C-alpha cells in the first residue's frame, strides 16, 4: 500500500485491512473518510490528506468561545513546565474539570455553564492539547507524564487562589486526576473519574479485545517518528475515526465543536504531544503507579466513577472494584447510557451526578 492509497482510505481502514476478521459478519458503520465526514461534520473542513501541517494551532476565535462557553474568561498561566490555557467562571467552591484525548476543554461545554452557577469552574487544556504549550520530546517522555500534568493542575489552581478543590477528569484527564490525588492528597477534596479504570490495571489486563478496540493505546506508544508521521498524513480522518469509534450518540459533537477539535489537533506540535502522552503512560507512568502501589499510596478523597454503559471500559472491567483497589475512601458510581464521550453524549446525566456528588 503506497502513501497515496493509505491517505485515501485513512489510518483506521488501513489498520483494519491488515488485521484478520475478529468475528462473524455484522453491519458496521461507514468509517470511510466520506462516511466519517457525514457523521462528524465540521464548520471548517481542516487540512486535506498529505498536507503540510503547521507547528501550532491557529489562534482560537473569541466569538466561538463565547458562544460555546458564555461568560468564561480565558487566560494563560505559566506552570513549572508549561503554559496552560485556562477558562474560568463562577464564584462558588472551586471545581477543576480536566478533558481527555483527543479533545480540549470544550469537552465540558455542555455542562460547564450550568456548573458555573454553583461553582468556580476551571477548564484547562492539558499541556500539549488545545491552546496550551507543547513541550518538546524528553527522556522517557517525562514532559508528558501524568505526574507533570498533575503538577500543572496544582500550579494553575494555586495561581487562581485555590489550594484545595474538587476535580473531575474524563479519559486522560481522569488519569491526570488519579495522579493528582496520589501526589497532592491535601489539594483534592473530592474526585470524579469518567470512563477510566486505573492505567496500570488496564495495561496489566490487556487482551486481544482491548488491544483491538483501543488501537491508539498501542499505535501512539511506538517510537517516534512513525506514529507521528502516520497520523500526520491525514489527521482529520484519524481524529474523526477515533471520536466515531468511541462515541455512541450520533450528533453529540456539533459541527462548531468539531471544527475546534480539528483546529487544535491538526498540527505537528499537538500530534507529537499526544504520542508522547501515550508513550509516557506506557512507560514512566506505569513505574510511578507501581511505586505508589508498593508504598501503599492510595487515593484519600471520596471518589465517584462514571462510565459509558455502551463503551469498552465498563464492558471489560468492573470499574468500581478497580478504583476501590486504589482508594482509602468511599468509591461510588454508575454507568450512564452512552459511549465514551460522556460529557458530550449525556450532559444531563453528568450534571445530575456531579450535583449530587460534589454538592453533598
Distance (Å, whole) CA 356 – CA 306: 13
Cβ neighbours for 81, distance < 8 A, ≥ 6 positions apart? 127, 135, 143, 148, 151, 152
Single out the residue of 213, 260, 293, 313 nearest to residue 60, CA to CA: 260
Told to judge if 340 belongs to the known catalytic residues of this protein, a careful annotator would answer: yes
Cβ pair 46, 249 in contact under 8 A: no
What is the rounded CA–CA span in Å between residue 5 and residue 55?
25
Which of 125, 171, 241, 289 is catalytic? The answer is: 171
Choosing from 99, 101, 105, 340, the catalytic residue is: 340
Known catalytic residue at 171: yes
Task: Point out which residues pair with 327 in neighbouring strands.
Answer: 299
Q: How far apart are CA 275 and CA 115, in angstroms?
A: 32
Name the residue with cell 520530546.
137
Residues 6+ apart with CB under 8 A from 207: none
Please give the order of strands across the beta sheet that includes 83-89: 73-78, 83-89, 119-124, 93-98, 165-170, 188-194, 303-308, 331-336
The residues assigned a catalytic role are 171, 340
Amino acid at each position: 500500500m503506497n502513501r497515496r492509497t493509505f491517505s485515501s482510505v485513512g489510518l483506521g481502514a488501513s489498520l483494519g485491512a491488515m488485521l484478520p476478521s475478529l468475528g462473524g459478519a455484522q453491519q458496521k458503520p461507514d468509517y470511510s473518510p466520506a462516511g466519517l465526514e457525514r457523521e462528524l461534520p465540521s464548520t471548517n473542513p481542516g487540512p486535506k490528506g498529505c498536507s503540510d501541517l503547521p507547528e501550532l494551532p491557529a489562534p482560537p476565535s473569541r466569538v466561538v468561545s463565547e458562544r460555546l462557553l458564555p461568560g468564561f474568561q480565558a487566560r494563560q498561566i505559566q506552570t513549572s513546565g508549561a503554559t496552560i490555557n485556562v477558562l474560568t467562571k463562577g464564584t462558588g467552591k472551586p471545581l477543576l474539570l480536566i478533558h481527555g484525548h483527543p479533545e480540549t476543554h470544550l469537552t465540558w461545554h455542555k455542562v460547564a455553564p450550568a456548573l458555573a452557577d454553583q461553582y468556580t469552574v476551571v477548564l484547562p487544556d492539558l499541556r500539549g492539547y488545545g491552546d496550551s504549550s507543547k513541550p518538546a520530546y524528553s527522556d522517557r517522555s517525562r514532559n508528558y507524564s501524568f505526574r507533570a500534568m498533575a503538577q500543572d493542575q496544582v500550579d494553575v489552581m494555586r495561581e487562581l487562589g485555590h489550594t484545595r478543590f474538587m476535580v473531575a477528569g474524563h479519559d486522560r484527564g481522569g488519569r491526570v486526576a488519579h495522579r493528582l490525588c496520589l501526589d497532592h492528597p491535601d489539594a483534592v477534596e473530592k474526585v470524579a473519574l469518567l470512563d477510566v479504570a486505573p492505567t496500570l490495571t488496564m495495561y496489566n489486563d490487556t487482551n486481544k479485545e482491548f488491544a483491538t478496540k483501543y488501537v491508539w493505546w498501542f499505535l501512539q506508544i511506538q517510537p517516534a517518528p512513525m506514529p507521528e508521521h502516520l497520523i500526520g498524513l491525514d489527521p482529520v480522518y484519524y481524529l474523526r475515526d477515533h471520536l466515531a469509534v468511541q462515541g455512541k450518540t450520533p450528533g453529540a459533537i456539533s459541527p462548531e465543536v468539531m471544527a475546534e477539535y480539528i483546529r487544535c489537533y491538526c498540527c505537528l506540535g499537538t500530534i507529537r504531544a499526544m504520542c508522547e502522552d501515550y508513550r509516557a503512560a506506557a512507560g514512566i507512568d506505569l513505574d510511578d503507579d507501581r511505586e505508589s502501589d508498593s508504598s501503599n499510596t492510595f487515593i484519600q478523597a471520596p471518589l465517584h466513577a462514571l462510565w459509558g454503559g455502551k463503551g469498552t471500559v465498563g464492558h471489560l472491567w468492573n470499574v468500581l472494584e478497580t478504583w476501590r483497589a486504589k482508594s482509602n475512601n468511599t468509591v461510588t458510581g454508575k454507568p450512564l447510557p452512552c459511549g465514551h464521550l460522556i460529557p458530550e453524549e449525556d450532559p444531563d446525566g453528568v450534571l445530575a451526578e456531579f450535583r449530587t456528588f460534589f454538592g453533598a
